Chain A
Amino acid sequence: MAVDHLFAAGVNFGSLPAQVVNGILIGSLYALIALGYTMVYGVLRLINFAHGEVYMLGAYTALFVSWLIYGNQVAPVHTFWWALPTMLLASMTVSALVGVILERFAYRPLRNEPRIASLITAIGLSLLLQFGGQLFLPVAPPPNINAKVNPYSDSMTFYLKPPAKPLADKASSLEAEATATEKAYNEALSGVPSGEEPGPTVTALRNNYFEARNAYEEAKGAAANSGVSVTIPKGQLIMFVVTMFLMAILRHLVMFTKQGRAMRAVSHDFDSASLMGINVNSTVTFTFILGSALAGAGAMMSATFISGVKIDTFYGLLPGVKAFVAAVLGGIGNIPGAVLGGLLMGVAESLVIWVGWGDYKDAVAFLILIGVLMFRPGGLLGSAKVEKV
């Protein structure tokens, strides 16, 4: 076997590059959601616990729009090139709207109360949307965006190191036999009347086929393992590209527009910013629009491109918590920190699976967080400011 098993647990270095790529793909989604947490925290010093539910509503929006476009029967997707962009825009719009509503009617009235009041309101809103949503949204059996809505369900394989030639040759030589025996078996089987047990000839042919198939699969696997490859589902790649594109737009908005500058000012010092004539309310609204729209985009993409995942009112719970951890890890309130934290979380998760501790995947995420906070209480890129007394 060409794979090097160095650790007792069987760590497979051949799959390390693939796992890092997997981690980055997963992490980019966390980063996208984490941005919403971190921007809101930046301007309001509020952990918007309901952000995961904004994400969930984005996924539902994508679901409803896909039902509107395709009905119940699934048409060939290519006839509707505009379907996916429409779903994306709809999800972003609805999520942004929800974010703004939450801010205007739940957080703004509490802005001058102790911070714990807004925090508890956020937890309450999160529970309200999770459980109240069950009353109005379709949940059982859990719906999902039809797998056929996603035209990019296949994947691409890149070889960092091509498979060993002799092994690959052996595999292709066995393929012919596997196909031939399968054909022979199926022909024999079609001769057997339904409901009857096949006779010994058919059974022999079947065993031949199984042997040839298993030998071929074995050789094919050995050949694949002799190389180092990375397999990327096309949908996930698109997700990654869109995510990076959205982050670039966000960076432009935050760094080079007037609203973005106002946002940074408010984030730096809320009171002084308002004294300097910045419209704090519109800036906060702007922040919620940005963060929630990003969450909506992430939700639409994850619900569509990760084919067939169930959508229920807890859809945002796990990604929400993980993104929150990512935001804290990177230093909450810090935009590059959220991206770094998200990517780190994703890579850490897939590496935990890589070393064979997959059972503890979610615990490790929190363990890393607690470890980082022990040594850097402000997160990786954040500054540990002592709160004002």
Chain B
Amino acid sequence: MNYKYSMFWTAALGGAMALSMVGCKSDAEKAATSDNSSTSTNASSSGSGGKRPTPTGKGNSQSGDTIKLGVVASVTGDLKPWGDDSYYGAKLAIDEFNTAGGLNGKKIELLMEDSASKPEAAKTAGEKLMGEGVLGVLGEVSSGNTEQIARPAFDKGIPVIAIGATKTTLTDIGANVWRVCYTDDFQGPVMARFAYEDQGIRKAAIITDKKQPYSQGLSESFKQYFLKLGGEIVSEVSYQTGDTQFQAQLTELKSTNPQGIFMSGYFPEVGPLAAQARAAGITAKFFGGDGWDSSAILQSGGDAIIGSYFCNHYNNKEARPEVKMFLDKFKAKYGKEPSTTMAALGYDAALVAIDALKRCKTLDSASLIQEIENVDKLQGVSGEITLKGHNGNPPKRALVVEIRPASEGFQVFKKAYDYFESK
């Protein structure tokens, strides 16, 4: 072989590559891309007003005796307690509907796929369900996982009802995505209001988990609203998921004398963070988001975390009739109370799907998308849900709960906030 020419193979291949690409460009594709590029302009607008891109795909349709719905749940991995509950909740609502006769005799079949608490696996799980012909997908409990389900669903034209995904920009993906929970844009302001109005905090510090998009977004929304109320943010420090020692950050924070500290991370880090803050002589009150919603925080935070406040979707001790009915049914079916709020939200997500299905004229994804968008004043366990005209983000209420020792029930209802405009 002549070595001199062997590199030629490569160069020619490159040339052929370029040529073949030119050949591939078509008008139809160009039109599609210019369509897509318009999405990025309104991707930044959230809340009412902006128009979300319409999904391109045709979706699935069904003609058999059953109506297939899918649910992606983190039934293994880090999010297991929440993922299990979300599935139990959705299953409860669907079974109830089927026992009551279903939709003109047709039963709903709920297919479940595990996401193992990981975004990549969530994507595969979602695609698998969509390939099996489900009309719509319920789930997930975290924003990162939901995002990976919602994007392919947009391409395919299949509706997604998120259960516990609070990331604000999530629903900008397209007009096929809704959620039944509030957004980080709301829970941040709720905690800001609670801290400012109810606890008299004027100088606050923020501790962010830089590795978590959830934490970054939540910190930002808390900060904006707290400033708007007239408060002062005296210090912002950060850490990363998995860090264990926070003395250096807390030393800096302490010298700015905050009266309250907003910790937007998840409970495994918040516990030690609170304990170390108390040990460092910080006496400020602690506030947080729904990432604290696990009784494990009592173990890791010890006495330091008792008396802190966080924002949640729902509380088992609320006096509303929906809550009592839901708890009774849940206990009858599974023999225990739900351990996280995701059971109620999963139940509500299924209620939204059922409510929309009842109004569907034809059993296909396109009309399901249309009817989910028309859900109006639905009484869910976690509060009233209105999806109509809100770009997928229902104006939900939020609760502030106080952390008490396990003997007093871990979360004690403190104050409820109805939806308010936080921009």
Q: Do chains A and B touch in the complex (CB under 8 A)?
A: yes
Which residues of A are at the interface with B, using a C-beta cutoff of 8 A?
Answer: 3, 12, 14-15, 18-19, 22-23, 25-26, 140-142, 144, 146-148, 153-155, 157, 206-207, 209-211, 213-214, 217-218, 220-222, 224-225, 231, 233, 236, 302, 306-310, 314, 317-318, 349-350, 353-354, 356, 358-359, 361-362
What separation, in Å, do the CA atoms of A15 and B255 have in the docked complex? 8
- CB contacts (< 8 Å) of B276 on chain A: these are 233, 306-307
Nearest residue in B to A207 (C-beta to C-beta)? B200
Chain B 282-298, CB within 8 Å of chain A: the 1/0 string? 01100000000010100
Q: Is the CB of A218 within 8 A of B296?
A: no
Min CB–CB distance A313 → chain B (angstroms) = 12
8 tightest A-B CB contacts, nearest first: A210-B200, A221-B257, A147-B302, A308-B300, A350-B248, A310-B268, A353-B248, A309-B244
The docked-state distance in angstroms from the alpha carbon of A142 to that of B244 is 13
State the CA gap A302–B245 with chains docked (Å).
9
The 25 listed contacts between A and B (C-beta, < 8 Å) are A15-B252, A15-B255, A22-B248, A22-B251, A26-B245, A141-B81, A141-B296, A153-B275, A213-B200, A214-B259, A217-B257, A217-B283, A218-B203, A221-B255, A224-B257, A233-B276, A302-B244, A308-B275, A308-B299, A310-B300, A317-B242, A349-B248, A353-B249, A354-B252, A359-B210
B243 contacts chain A at the CB level, 8 A cutoff: yes
**Given A211-B200, A353-B252, A354-B251, 12 further pairs, Cβ under 8 A:** A141-B80, A142-B78, A146-B302, A147-B303, A224-B255, A233-B247, A309-B300, A310-B268, A318-B243, A350-B251, A358-B237, A358-B249
B272's contact among A207, A309, A356, A362, by CB below 8 Å, is which? A309
On whether the beta carbons of A206 and B200 are closer than 8 Å, the reply is yes
Please report the C-alpha to C-alpha distance between residue A356 and residue B252 in the assembled complex, in whole angstroms.
9
Establish whether residues A306 and B283, one from each chain, have CB atoms under 8 Å apart when the complex forms: no
Which residues of B does A touch, CB under 8 Å?
77-78, 80-81, 199-200, 202-203, 210, 237-240, 242-245, 247-249, 251-252, 254-257, 259, 268-269, 271-272, 275-276, 279-281, 283-284, 294, 296, 299-304
Give Cα A18–Cα B257 distance, bound, in whole angstroms. 16
CB within 8 Å for A308 and B302 given contacts A14-B255, A231-B280, A354-B252: yes
Residues of chain A within 8 A of B243, CB atoms compared: 318
* A225 (CB) vs chain B CBs: closest residue: B255
Q: Which residue of A22, A140, A307, A308 has the most chain B CB atoms within 10 A of its CB atom? A: A308
**Chain A neighbourhood of B200, CB < 8 A:** 206-207, 209-211, 213-214
> In the complex the two chains form, what is the Cα distance from A140 to B267 in whole Å?
13
Q: How far is the CA of A63 from the CA of B303 in the complex (A)?
A: 20
Flag if B248 contacts A19 (CB, 8 Å).
yes
Minimal beta-carbon separation of A316 from chain B (angstroms): 11
Q: A22-B248, A23-B248, A25-B247 are in contact. Are A153 and B272 (CB under 8 A)?
A: no
Query: Is B271 in contact with A354, judged by CB distance below 8 angstroms?
Result: no
Chain A residues with CB below 8 A from B239, complex form: 358
Of the candidates B256, B259, B268, B281, which one forms a contact with A142 in the assembled complex, judged by CB atoms under 8 Å apart?
B268
Question: Are the CB atoms of B268 and A350 closer together than 8 Å?
Answer: no
Taken together as a complex, chains A and B put the C-alpha atoms of A25 and B247 apart, in Å, by: 10
CB contact under 8 A between A350 and B272, given known A147-B300, A221-B257, A308-B302: no
Min C-beta distance of A123 to chain B, whole Å: 19
Q: Which residues of A contact B77 (CB under 8 A)?
A: 140
Distance of A356 from chain B, by nearest CB (Å): 8
In the complex, which residues of chain B have a beta carbon less than 8 angstroms from the beta carbon of A154?
279
Asked whether, in the complex, the Cβ of A353 is within 8 Å of the Cβ of B237, the reply is yes
Contacts of A361 in B (CB 8 A): 240
A121 to B41, CA, bound (A): 50
Known: A140-B80, A153-B302, A233-B276. A306 touches B251 (CB 8 A): no
Return chain A residues, CB-CB under 8 Å to B244: 302, 306, 309
Which residues on A sit within 8 Å (CB–CB) of B203?
Answer: 214, 218
Q: Which residue of B lies closest to A353 (CB)?
A: B248
Q: Which of B202, B251, B283 interacts with A214 by CB under 8 Å?
A: B202
Determine how close the nearest CB of chain B comes to the CB of A246; give it in whole angstroms.
Answer: 19
Tell me the minimal C-beta distance from B236 to chain A in angstroms. Answer: 9
- Chain A residues with CB below 8 A from B271, complex form: 144, 147, 308, 310
Q: Are A26 and B279 in contact (CB under 8 A)?
A: no
Question: Cβ of A12 and Cβ of B255 under 8 Å apart?
Answer: yes
> Contacts of B300 on A, CB cut-off 8 Å?
144, 147, 307-310
Question: Are B275 and A307 in contact, CB atoms less than 8 angstroms apart?
Answer: yes
Query: What separation, in Å, do the CA atoms of A85 and B247 have in the docked complex?
Result: 25
Q: Are B238 and A358 in contact (CB under 8 A)?
A: yes
A358 to B211, CA, bound (A): 13
List the B side residues contacting A354 at CB < 8 Å.
248, 251-252
**Is the CB–CB distance between B272 and A308 below 8 Å?**
yes
For A222, give its contact among B257, B259, B302 (CB under 8 Å).
B257
* Minimal beta-carbon separation of A32 from chain B (angstroms): 14
Residues of B within 8 A of A302 (CB): 244
Q: How far is the CB of B303 from chain A (nearest CB, A)?
A: 8
User: Contacts of A349 on B, CB cut-off 8 Å?
Assistant: 248
Question: Which residues on the A side are within 8 Å of B78 (C-beta)?
Answer: 140, 142
Asked if A306 and B257 make an inter-chain contact with CB atoms under 8 angstroms apart, the answer reads no
B257 touches A350 (CB 8 A): no
Separation in Å of the A323 CB from the closest CB of chain B? 13
In the bound complex, do residue A236 and residue B247 qualify as a contact, i.e. CB atoms below 8 Å apart? yes
Per the bound structure, the CA–CA distance linking A140 and B249 in Å amounts to 28
Across-interface contacts of A210 in B (CB, < 8 A) = 199-200
CB within 8 Å for A157 and B299 given contacts A142-B268, A214-B259, A309-B244:
no
Q: How far is the CA of A361 from the CA of B249 in the complex (A)?
A: 11
Bound Cα distance A154, B410 (Å) = 24
Q: What's the least CB distance linking A128 to chain B, in Å?
A: 19
Q: How far, in whole Å, are A23 and B77 apart by their CA atoms in the complex?
A: 34
Is A26 in contact with B247, judged by CB distance below 8 angstroms? yes
Closest CB of chain B to A229's CB: distance in Å?
A: 9
Residues of A within 8 A of B259 (CB): 213-214, 217
Task: Specify which of A140, A154, A214 lies most central, judged by the most chain B CB atoms within 10 Å of its CB.
Answer: A140
Given the known inter-chain contacts A147-B301, A308-B275, A359-B210, please indicate yes or no for A22 contacting B247, CB distance below 8 A.
yes
- Let me know if B268 and A233 touch, CB within 8 A: no
Is there contact, CB below 8 Å, between A350 and B255?
no
Closest CB of chain B to A305's CB: distance in Å?
A: 10
Complex: how many Å from CA A214 to CA B234? Answer: 14
A236 to B280, CA, bound (A): 12
Q: A231 near B301 (CB under 8 angstroms)? A: no
Partner of A155, one of B81, B202, B281, B303: B281
Q: What are the residues of chain B within 8 A of A362 when measuring CB–CB?
A: 240
